[in-house]
Amino acid sequence: MIKLHRLGHQAEPFHLNPDLIVTIEAHPDTVLTLTTGSKVNVVESPDDVAGAVLGWRAAVIGAATRLKATHPHPIS
């Protein structure tokens, strides 16, 4: 999950599953379009959102790599 802030609600962060993001646009506010068709306006820039998604994906891959190193055989 990545932490974002809705436009107009900066003091109230929310967490979003980045797999739900289809597009990130700036109109000039950042608008996320989700797989559900919903649109969410956020304070973060498109580059910041993309960076958060990349960081989240890197963390998931890193955790999977560490898990595989400690459990070289498939877990049943």
Cα 45 to the center of its chain, rounded Å: 13
Q: What is the pLDDT of residues 1-50, one digit of tens each?
A: 999 999 998 889 999 999 999 999 998 999 999 999 999 999 999 999 99
Report DSSP state, residue 6.
B
Closest to 2 measured CA to CA, from 13, 12, 16: 16
> The pTM is what?
0.85
**Beta bridge partner(s), residue 23:** 33
- Check residue 49 and report its DSSP letter: H
User: Is residue 17 within 8 Å of residue 3, measured between CB atoms?
Assistant: no
Q: Residue 37: left (phi > 0), alpha (psi -120 to 50), or beta?
A: left
